[in-house]
Amino acid sequence: MAEDLAGLRLRLAGILPASIHATVAGYEAFTGSLPPADAKGFAAWHAAAKAALAHVDLLVKLARWAESTPEAGAEDGVERLLSQARAALDALDDDGHDS
């Protein structure tokens, strides 16, 4: 299992920087457009912008994990990261139901 995580760290460390740059560029392009004038369209536009920003945040956290030195209990770090990602997605889902 530790070898699998080490390989995953190396792979992610190599691909995540480009993914982060592409995601930020997409976020900038999206938020650079004017939001819809109607309330429902604006709420959807706002939720999409929040989701994109949460995606950037998660990619950055993954990149930090991938670049960190593996420690004893590294699996706990992965589980914590996955738990944070699930909480962020749940928060986005909750926001979507309020609009």
Task: Return the CA Rg of the chain.
Answer: 16
Q: At what angle do helices 74-98 and 39-67 cross, to 10 degrees?
A: 180
Half-sphere exposure of 88 (CA within 13 A, CB side): 17
pLDDT tens-digit readout, 5-27: 888 888 999 999 999 999 999 99
pLDDT at 99: 46
Q: What is the pTM of this model?
A: 0.64
pLDDT tens-digit readout, 34-68: 999 999 999 999 999 999 999 999 999 999 988 88
Give the residue carrying structure tokens 């770090």: 77
pLDDT at 97: 54
How many Å apart are CA 70 and CA 80, to the nearest integer? Answer: 14
Amino acid at 3: E
pLDDT at 37: 95
How many Å apart are CA 32 and CA 71, to the nearest integer? Answer: 41
> Any idea where the domains of the chain sit in the sequence?
2-98
